[in-house]
Structure 1
Amino acid sequence: MWVFKLLSSVIVLVICCQLTFKVSAADEFSYIGAVAEYHPVLTGDNGTEIANENAKNFITMMAKAAEHNADIIVFPENGLTVGFTYSKENRTMYPSFSTFLPDDNAHVPCKNSETVVIEALQSLSCAAQNYSMYVVINLMEMKKCNASETESHGCPSDGLFFYNTNVVLDRNGTIISRYRKFNLFAEPGVDVTSTADVASFTTDFDVTFGHFICFDILFKEPALTLVKDYNITDIVYPTHWFSEMPYLTTLQVQASWSYANDVNFLASSFNNPSSGSGGSGIYAGKDGHLITYWPEYSSNALLVATVPKLINGERNVSLVSSTSALYYAFNDSEISTLVGLEVIPQRLFAQENLTLFTTSELDFVNGTTEISKEVCNREFCCSFHVNSNFANESVTETSKYYKYRIAVFNGIRLYPGIGTGGIQVCSIISCTDATLESCGTRFAVTDDVVAATVFHSIVISGNFSTDADMAQMPSSLTTDILPLNPSDFSYSAVDYENSTDRSIVYNLTSSTSNLLTFAIFGRNFSGDWKEEIVIEEPTESPTTGASAGVHVPYSSIAVAITFLVAMWQ
């Protein structure tokens, strides 16, 4: 009896504590969003212990978010159930690092003796109750095959499906939504559904969120479907991204996608500098970045921001001020996953293969230079107008400073370890020397780099297709590995009458001396997931750095698969 009375007292105390938290109302014009930049527990043979330790750290972050009345918090891809080795042939370790999930979206794992979920998810369900916030968690889901699935698309030999899955808890700790990743990246042995889930959930503060995971952001299904077919205005996004220059670094992609689709975007990243992973942010589409975080080093941090709701196509941006966003770094006594880690002086990046791009050096002379050029690649042409100033007196033979090239591409590229993707790019990119091989790389953070070139304006324009298999977005990157804020550029897309073409103009409107990338980045989804690619020699000969036609069999990227999977561990 005394145990029951004590438990009742605890429940009453928890309820009282919940009442002290301020929650955003349905009729308010904003809500409080939080995202975690998290370096998880990565080693160990016991998946349960690893998940429990990560859950404990998640709860520490939730407690901090609750101090700022967060309505919703997002945790990264692979942040909870992590530490196993991916293998298509041997999945014996998978079950101990996975969880079953209930079939219905009305299940409360907290203190539920009959629940099928792992202890870590039970703890997080209770924390969602205690701190009265929505929680987005990514984990490895385990599901038994049933007869219909066996008949439709085959059952694995171990009788189980394993999915990379988002789970959403509401303020009561109830599982209200899930999403199974559709576009996998170097995840052998992980299953996908026969069609992409279109996952969303509606909150008590009258915002409906869509969600997807990491690599999904570069594909039509389900990411663009949520926005274009279901009119979703807010996205929660767990990610474990491997940054690649010059077009696909973490925050660069997040900001570009948020802007192009004009959605509020809450991105939480797995932090691991040794594999180029990390970078979290909260964005308000075309109204700018609310808060971004990109460390060179291992880090555990929380980002919190007031997010203006998108109502009838508009945000009340007056709600956003210097005090409406904050960043909090956890020390080792609060979260100890960084203790004993080797210090990585500079985050490692992958590099795009630019050899099949048409490129042209931007040859700046001392003082102000105006350059106008049209550059084409495989019958796709882009126009460039550049106004810049080069300070010749600031450089010597030994000075380190960025050089620049125009780079244009229209075709199919490899995603390392995965497959293919169609892209169309009009860009100006930086190089560390005069060679094409140096483009898409950067100087060391310890180097003394001279900012010799100041871009006063850049105008890039091109004709792109309005076909449903095509999508475009503005893409930028500075030497701080941050995207430009929308206040620094203009971007317009105008569809031609009686045509399937659109004119896109991307204009740098603020002078900058720290530019790495300024690009219109387009995707052609019809070029995705090819078993092999055959690229013919471009009809327009590249100015420099081009190769002849190339045939790349899918098997040739096995080395890249091994490399990326090894980095993930």
Structure 2
Amino acid sequence: MLGWVLLFSVGVRGYSDQTFRAAVYEHAPLPPNRTIVVTRQEALDYMRKNLEVYKTATEEAHGQNVDIIVFPEDGITYNGHTRKSVRPYLEYIPDPKQEQWNPCEVPDRYSNTEVQYTLSCLAKNNSLWIVANMGDYQPCQADDTVCPADGHYQFNTDVVYDSNGTLIAKYHKINLFFEFMFDPSTSKEAVSFETPFGTFGVFTCFDILFRNPVVVLMKEKEVSNIVFPTAWMDTPPFFAAIQFHSAVAAGFGINFLAANMHNPQYRFQGSGIYSPDGAVAYYYNNSVKGQEEGGKLLVSELKILRNNALSHNSPMYSSKKYNGTQAMGDGVFHADTFGDNFNYILLTESSGKARVCHNELCCKATYTSRDNFTEMFALGAFDGLHTKEGTFYIQVCTILRCKTLEKSSCGQGSRVSNTYFTQLALSGTFKTPYTFPEILLHGENVFDLAPSTTWSYNAGSMEAKNGFEQPLLSFSLFSRDYDNDLRLTSSCGNPKLTIFTQCLCLLSLLFSVLS
């Protein structure tokens, strides 16, 4: 069964004083041979197949008067390489802050830059901005005391070309996720760029969970738009791609352009164009029938935003601190939820109020279901350091469907539901304003998002006065407390990682190579 596609757009030509046209492309690359080190020509032959797809998508976007298009992480090179096997796919990318370069007009300035030439010409020939992800090869300077053993750096890199084909920005991914083939950014620089239709920040996949670059871009550079190449694996109940990315847009009050890789066999799917009011367009196709069927171009009109809404949302603060067992509510039980030990309380009546606490966080809910419960739903709370596949401090309030009728299943992330709610409200005593409202509904064997007209969010509180026309999977407030993060990096290969996490990294690499 193909996933659902929601797309709303208004026919306009290019950007005006109020709007611009945005596109994201979910790309389904075929995996190259990653078990051997290929030649540069063999690597180019593979990458050109993906770039031909990019060409078709860009030309289609041009035909729809698009101003900026975003392509996914690993869309040109694929993932799962070793450090040696990825080398022929990399190109030297100059620093656009140090020199101006248009690869389409001056292709011979640097050797082995065929990918950059192609991307630049696609931007120039179609008169639109392009954001793409590729690998950057940077030789070490003579005085570099921490140079990698092979004498150069390899970076997971986003490149930005303006509508003339000029390289405007490049961003080295700061927070790597099981990426042995790459080095984390040495500068740790959050990157933004200016367009005629607003200021944009750029970051990649796992970066979305960390203060740098996210909060740096929001507070210091005051960006109002994010371009987000990603290779995102769905991980419910809180990290399905369309669920979390739309929540970040709403929580920060920004436009968020998320382009994901399409490989449903390994849970890579879900792209979207999101605004402060919710999803404008998104694509969720969980079919594993033929990779070539999975590519999808989304195009939408967005309002031009001149600032983000971070300063307008002040969090609710708890007037009383709780120690994890005090004043939690009757019937509290625990369930593992993506590695975190949540406190839960069952919703037993078809309508009512519920409250549960964990550490300093208390969550309150009111709800009404259309019928008596035949499935298990619970209200959950967690306030603590998340340590599975990354280390970061979170506070979460959630109403979710348990996977089975066993309490222990409540954190396992159900993918099906038959329960309709006609009213929902959820609030929490969050410490920070970095709170993201998540709603995940059940479509026909796929995830769906709620129309923006059906719910509202303000300062740690979310409400759906009339419920939803589809069954509910989860209704959550996910908050990041950056100040309580441990001073650890989540990148694989870091000596501070636990043995358990290092094993996870190795298993992940083996899995991706075999896939």
Tell me if both proteins adopt one fold, taking TM over 0.5 as the criterion. yes
Task: Specify which structure has the bigger relative contact order, considering alpha-carbon pairs within 8 angstroms and separated by 6 or more residues.
Answer: 2
Among candidates 33, 36, 53, match of residue 25 of structure 2: 36
Question: Does structure 2 conserve the Cα–Cα contact (< 8 Å) formed by 1:50 and 1:82?
Answer: no
Question: Does structure 2 conserve the Cα–Cα contact (< 8 Å) formed by 1:35 and 1:75?
Answer: yes
Match of 1:267 in 2: 258
Match of 2:153 in 1: 161
**Relative to structure 2, which stretch is displaced further, 94-103 or 115-124?**
115-124
Matched ranges for 1:452-467 at <5 A? 453-466=419-432
Question: Does structure 1 conserve the Cα–Cα contact (< 8 Å) formed by 2:81 and 2:181?
Answer: no
- 3-state SS, counterpart of residue 101 of structure 1: coil
Distance in 2, matches of 1:100 and 1:63, equals 27
Distance in 1, matches of 2:467 and 2:149, equals 59
Match of 1:147 in 2: 142
Question: Does structure 2 conserve the Cα–Cα contact (< 8 Å) formed by 1:384 and 1:461?
Answer: yes
The CA deviation string for residues 43-91 of structure 1, in whole angstroms up to 9 with x for no partner, is 23432222222111111111111111111110000111225523xxxx2
Matched ranges for 1:17-36 at <5 A? 24-25=14-15, 27-36=16-25
Among candidates 182, 201, 205, match of residue 174 of structure 2: 182
Structure 1 alignment gaps of length 5 or more? 1-21, 315-350, 393-400, 494-503, 534-551
Match of 1:509 in 2: 465
Letter in 2 for 1:73: I
Among candidates 473, 487, 509, match of residue 565 of structure 1: 509
Match of 1:108 in 2: 102
Among candidates 379, 391, 394, match of residue 420 of structure 1: 391
Distance in 2, matches of 1:378 and 1:51, equals 50
Identify if the C-alpha distance between structure 1 residues 354 and 457 changes in structure 2 by more than 3 Å, giving closer, same or farther. farther
* Number of residue-to-residue matches in the alignment: 452
Distance in 1, matches of 2:360 and 2:411, equals 24
- 3-state SS, counterpart of residue 282 of structure 2: strand
Identify if the C-alpha distance between structure 1 residues 141 and 404 changes in structure 2 by more than 3 Å, giving closer, same or farther. same
State the superposition RMSD in angstroms.
2.6
- 3-state SS, counterpart of residue 54 of structure 1: helix
Distance in 2, matches of 1:168 and 1:407, equals 41
Structure 2 alignment gaps of length 5 or more? 1-11, 310-335, 491-495
1:435 corresponds to 2:406: yes
1:520 corresponds to 2:477: yes
Question: Does structure 2 conserve the Cα–Cα contact (< 8 Å) formed by 1:169 and 1:175?
Answer: yes
Letter in 1 for 2:399: I
Match of 1:171 in 2: 163
Distance in 2, matches of 1:60 and 1:293, equals 18
Distance in 2, matches of 1:429 and 1:53, equals 42
Matched ranges for 1:339-378 at <5 A? 352-353=337-338, 356-364=341-349, 369-378=350-359
- 3-state SS, counterpart of residue 73 of structure 2: coil
1:49 corresponds to 2:45: yes
Identify if the C-alpha distance between structure 1 residues 23 and 108 changes in structure 2 by more than 3 Å, giving closer, same or farther. farther
Question: Does structure 1 conserve the Cα–Cα contact (< 8 Å) formed by 2:339 and 2:386?
Answer: no
Match of 1:213 in 2: 204
- 3-state SS, counterpart of residue 93 of structure 1: helix
Matched ranges for 1:141-540 at <5 A? 141-148=136-143, 150-151=144-145, 154-203=146-195, 205-286=196-277, 288-297=278-287, 298=291, 299-311=294-306, 352-353=337-338, 356-364=341-349, 369-391=350-372, 402-416=375-389, 419-441=390-412, 451=418, 453-466=419-432, 471-480=434-443, 481-493=447-459, 504-512=460-468, 513-528=470-485
Match of 2:4 in 1: none
Identify if the C-alpha distance between structure 1 residues 432 and 144 changes in structure 2 by more than 3 Å, giving closer, same or farther. same
- 3-state SS, counterpart of residue 50 of structure 2: helix
Identify if the C-alpha distance between structure 1 residues 99 and 83 changes in structure 2 by more than 3 Å, giving closer, same or farther. same
Question: Does structure 2 conserve the Cα–Cα contact (< 8 Å) formed by 1:244 and 1:352?
Answer: no
Match of 2:500 in 1: 556
Please report how far the alpha carbon of residue 312 of structure 1 lies from its aligned counterpart in structure 2 after TM superposition.
Answer: 7.1
Distance in 1, matches of 2:213 and 2:192, equals 11
The CA deviation string for residues 479-535 of structure 1, in whole angstroms up to 9 with x for no partner, is 131232332222221xxxxxxxxxx222122323511111111112245456699xx
Identify if the C-alpha distance between structure 1 residues 361 and 70 changes in structure 2 by more than 3 Å, giving closer, same or farther. same
Identify if the C-alpha distance between structure 1 residues 415 and 529 changes in structure 2 by more than 3 Å, giving closer, same or farther. farther
Match of 1:73 in 2: 69
- 3-state SS, counterpart of residue 183 of structure 1: coil
TM-score, scaled relative to structure 2: 0.82
Distance in 2, matches of 1:313 and 1:100, equals 34
Match of 1:13 in 2: none
Letter in 1 for 2:14: S
- 3-state SS, counterpart of residue 357 of structure 1: strand
The CA deviation string for residues 448-489 of structure 1, in whole angstroms up to 9 with x for no partner, is x6x2x33222222221214xxx72111111113123233222
Letter in 1 for 2:101: H
**Relative to structure 2, which stretch is displaced further, 104-113 or 60-69?**
104-113
Distance in 2, matches of 1:180 and 1:444, equals 34
Question: Does structure 2 conserve the Cα–Cα contact (< 8 Å) formed by 1:84 and 1:93?
Answer: no
Distance in 2, matches of 1:242 and 1:518, equals 20
Distance in 2, matches of 1:37 and 1:568, equals 19
Letter in 2 for 1:138: N
The CA deviation string for residues 422-468 of structure 1, in whole angstroms up to 9 with x for no partner, is 111111111132223433456677xxx6x2x33222222221214xx
Identify if the C-alpha distance between structure 1 residues 243 and 273 changes in structure 2 by more than 3 Å, giving closer, same or farther. same
